[in-house]
């Protein structure tokens, strides 16, 4: 199906196509920005989750260190630390679920299960230590100390060695929680009770003191055994928690973080390809459309110029080709021009035919005038010359009026074309302004993206600083553990693990910094491209404005020219009126020459007029070549 459109409709369609193309480019740019932003946000969420895991582990280490040095003054801080750990592990699971990664959610659930059980064991450990007594003046320690002092007050030599042995082992046991000292204390208490039984002192104050001491030690021993069991379970849960955290860190580095980084890079590449292809497609389409339009316009204008040149040279045989599109302005112009040339050709042919008739009439009049030529020759000659001059002036003025009218018509057509051109240029200037504004908005978005990258670098620096501080703390902890000797060996291993985790954190943040640096470099490149595009758009807008000013000047000049041509037409009409007055005066002279020569003067005037008209028409008609 073919569309028969006018050139005005074609240019409007071209403007609409340009706007749609710009909208498509804007949509492609927005889609690319959204894709890159989504990928970067996903990577940031994964990095934030890894940071939260590290923060959880650091808090757990601080909680364990606080448990090793628990005192009554630190009980509230210890309980608050347990609450913070429980809150952190809940937040960790929430962040893992937000990542929408099944493996990460599974690791987070495992960490939560282990840590919640570990927190319950720590609360049980605190309750057992509170029951035992965090100082020698609290709980079961106080009761055992009081019973021990009662035994020390006994001065019987038979049982004093047993009392001294049990009290010594009991003190060692309370300070070390070593089951060997507990066994030694129980053995000494058993021997003390056998001695009391042998002496039959069970119902004496000494026997009751021994029995109370045995019961107090049994209560304390039960609490210590449960504390030891709890400590053993806490060590197992701690090892499991560290294992889960390490497995999760490895899985994040080799799995989720790697995928998010690859997705971000793929989104960036896809965005660049989409924007590049959109630009190339739009540019190719516009170039092709404008080239075809300009080629067609130039071809049709050349045909019009060639035809007008032929008409100006007197050749009325040429015609403009008329296409099949009735809405095309050039087809309408060709049809009107062909009809105009055809009408002019008919008029010229009629003039030639009439000129032949006038020639024959002139011959008849010449014969009559020769018969009357003997009378008043001199007067007739002067009158004939005056009449001939008047008619020549009249003919010339008529021809000038006709040509002036044609020039005025051409001037009006040129003025209309210049005005239409000005409107098209004004629309182009408006389109270039909107294009410049669109590039400016994209330029602002690229600047905002560079600022976001700078903030990411700041966060990475903070993480590096925290990792360095963690490494330093781990080194100090290792030094303190080395000073503690055998008792601090386990803590030294923990410090080494913390330092290893800190070094891994530094390595990870270094990789992130490198990626962000590359992203910033690409952002700066895009910033430069946008700046160049903005400059080019500004130049194009300025040039289009200059063209619009030039078209406006041409339109004003054409208006002035039209006014001048109208004045010329009026002046020619006035001169023609004056010439007619001169002719009337010549007729008056003929009347006053005498009644006898009236017929001769009249015939002479008509003969000379016919001769002038024949000559003028002959000269004018000889300039035209008819089909």
Give the range with max mean pLDDT: 83-92, 157-166, 305-314, 595-604: 83-92
d(CA 60, CA 82): 9
For residue 78, count other CB atoms closer than 10 A to its CB: 17
Q: What is the mean pLDDT of residues 576-598?
A: 63
Unique residue bearing structure tokens 């190719």:
284
Question: What is the reported pLDDT for 621?
Answer: 63
pLDDT digits (tens, 9 = 90+) for 377-400: 665 676 667 657 666 766 776 776
Instruction: Provide, rounded to the nearest whole percent, the portion of the chain with pLDDT above 90.
Output: 16
pLDDT band, very low/low/confident/very high, at 101 (cuts 50, 70, 90): confident
pLDDT band, very low/low/confident/very high, at 2 (cuts 50, 70, 90): very low
pLDDT digits (tens, 9 = 90+) for 115-154: 999 999 999 999 999 999 888 888 999 999 999 888 888 8
Question: What is the reported pLDDT for 572?
Answer: 61
Question: What is the reported pLDDT for 321?
Answer: 81
Which of 22-31, 37-46, 313-322, 485-494 has the least mean pLDDT? 485-494
Is 96 in contact with 105 (CB distance < 8 Å)?
yes
pLDDT digits (tens, 9 = 90+) for 408-462: 676 677 667 767 766 766 776 677 677 667 767 766 776 776 676 677 677 767 7
Unique residue bearing structure tokens 């105009």:
340
| DSSP string covering 134-196 | SSTTSHHHHHHHHHHHHHHT---TTTHHHHHHHHHHHHHHHHH--HHHHHHHHHHHHHHHHHH
d(CA 341, CA 351): 15
Residue 258, both tokens? 């790697």
The partner residues of 625 in beta bridges, in order of sequence, read: 315
Q: Is the pLDDT of residue 625 over 70?
A: no
Question: What is the reported pLDDT for 119?
Answer: 93
Residue 451 CB-density burial (10 A; 0-12 exposed, 13-18 middle, 19+ buried): exposed
d(CA 229, CA 121): 10
3-state secondary structure of 358: helix
Q: Is the pLDDT of residue 226 over 80?
A: yes
The partner residues of 315 in beta bridges, in order of sequence, read: 625
Q: Is the pLDDT of residue 582 over 60?
A: no
Q: Is the pLDDT of residue 1 over 50?
A: no
Give the range with max mean pLDDT: 89-103, 446-460, 546-560: 89-103
For residue 481, count other CB atoms closer than 10 A to its CB: 19
Backbone angles phi and psi of 446, in degrees to 5: -65, -40
d(CA 390, CA 398): 12
Give exposure, 377-393, as e/b (b: 16+ Cβ within 10 Å).
eebbeebbebbbebbbb
The average confidence (pLDDT) of the chain is 78
Give exposure, 299-338, as e/b (b: 16+ Cβ within 10 Å).
ebeebeeebeebbeeebbebebebeebeebebbebbeebb
Q: What is the mean pLDDT of residues 568-579?
A: 66
Measured CA distances, 262 to 43, 146, 520 (Å): 9, 70, 17
d(CA 123, CA 126): 5
Residues 6+ away with beta carbon under 8 Å from 107: 96, 244, 247, 248, 251
């Amino acid at each position: 199906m073919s569309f028969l459109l006018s050139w005005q409709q074609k240019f409007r369609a071209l403007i609409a196509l340009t706007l749609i193309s710009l909208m498509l480019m804007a949509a492609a740019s927005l889609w690319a920005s959204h894709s890159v932003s989504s990928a970067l946000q996903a990577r940031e969420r994964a990095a934030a989750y890894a940071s939260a895991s590290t923060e959880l582990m650091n808090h757990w280490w601080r909680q364990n260190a606080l448990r090793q040095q628990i005192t009554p003054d630190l009980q509230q801080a210890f309980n608050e630390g347990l609450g913070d750990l429980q809150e952190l592990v809940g937040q960790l699971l929430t962040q893992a679920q937000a990542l929408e990664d099944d493996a990460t959610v599974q690791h987070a659930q495992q960490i939560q299960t282990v840590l919640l059980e570990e927190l319950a064991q720590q609360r049980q450990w605190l309750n057992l230590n509170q029951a035992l007594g965090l100082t020698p003046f609290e709980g079961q320690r106080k009761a055992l100390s009081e019973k021990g002092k009662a035994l020390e007050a006994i001065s019987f030599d038979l049982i004093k060695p047993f009392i001294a042995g049990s009290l010594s082992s009991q003190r060692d046991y309370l300070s070390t929680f070593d089951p060997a000292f507990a066994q030694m204390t129980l053995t000494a208490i058993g021997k003390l009770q056998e001695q009391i039984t042998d002496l039959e002192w069970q119902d004496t104050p000494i026997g009751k003191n021994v029995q109370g001491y045995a019961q107090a030690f049994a209560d304390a021993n039960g609490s210590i055994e449960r504390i030891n069991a709890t400590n053993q379970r806490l060590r197992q849960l701690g090892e499991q928690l560290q294992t889960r955290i390490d497995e999760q860190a490895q899985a994040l580095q080799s799995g989720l973080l790697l995928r998010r980084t690859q997705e971000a890079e793929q989104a960036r590449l896809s965005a660049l390809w989409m924007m590049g292809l959109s630009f190339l497609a739009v540019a190719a389409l516009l170039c092709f459309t404008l080239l075809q339009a300009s080629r067609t316009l130039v071809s049709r204008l050349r045909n019009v110029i060639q035809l007008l040149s032929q008409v100006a040279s007197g050749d009325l045989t040429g015609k403009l080709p008329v296409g099949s599109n009735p809405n095309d302005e050039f087809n309408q112009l060709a049809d009107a021009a062909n009809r105009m040339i055809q009408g002019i050709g008919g008029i010229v042919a009629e003039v030639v035919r009439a000129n032949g008739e006038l020639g024959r009439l002139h011959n008849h009049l010449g014969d009559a005038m020769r018969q009357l030529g003997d009378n008043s020759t001199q007067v007739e000659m002067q009158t004939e010359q005056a009449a001939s001059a008047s008619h020549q002036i009249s003919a010339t003025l008529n021809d000038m009026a006709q040509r002036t009218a044609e020039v005025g018509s051409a001037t009006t057509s040129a003025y209309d074309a210049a005005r239409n051109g000005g409107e098209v240029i004004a629309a182009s200037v408006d389109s270039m302004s909107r294009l410049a504004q669109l590039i400016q908005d994209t330029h602002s978005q690229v600047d905002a993206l560079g600022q976001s990258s700078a903030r990411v670098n700041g966060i990475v620096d903070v993480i590096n600083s925290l990792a360095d501080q963690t490494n330093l703390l781990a080194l100090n902890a290792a030094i303190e553990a080395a000073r503690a000797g055998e008792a601090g060996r386990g803590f030294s291993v923990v410090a080494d693990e913390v330092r290893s985790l800190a070094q891994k954190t530094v390595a990870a943040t270094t990789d992130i910094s490198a990626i962000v640096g590359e992203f910033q470099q690409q952002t700066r490149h895009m910033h430069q491209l946008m700046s160049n595009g903005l400059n080019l758009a500004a130049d194009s807008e300025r040039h289009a404005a200059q063209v619009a000013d030039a078209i406006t000047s041409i339109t004003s000049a054409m208006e002035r020219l039209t006014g001048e041509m109208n004045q010329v037409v009026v002046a020619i009409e006035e001169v023609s009126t004056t010439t007619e007055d001169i002719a009337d005066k010549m007729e008056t002279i003929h009347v006053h020459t005498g009644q006898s020569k009236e017929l001769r003067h009249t015939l002479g005037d008509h003969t000379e007029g016919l001769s002038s008209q024949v000559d003028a028409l002959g000269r004018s008609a000889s300039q035209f070549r008819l089909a």
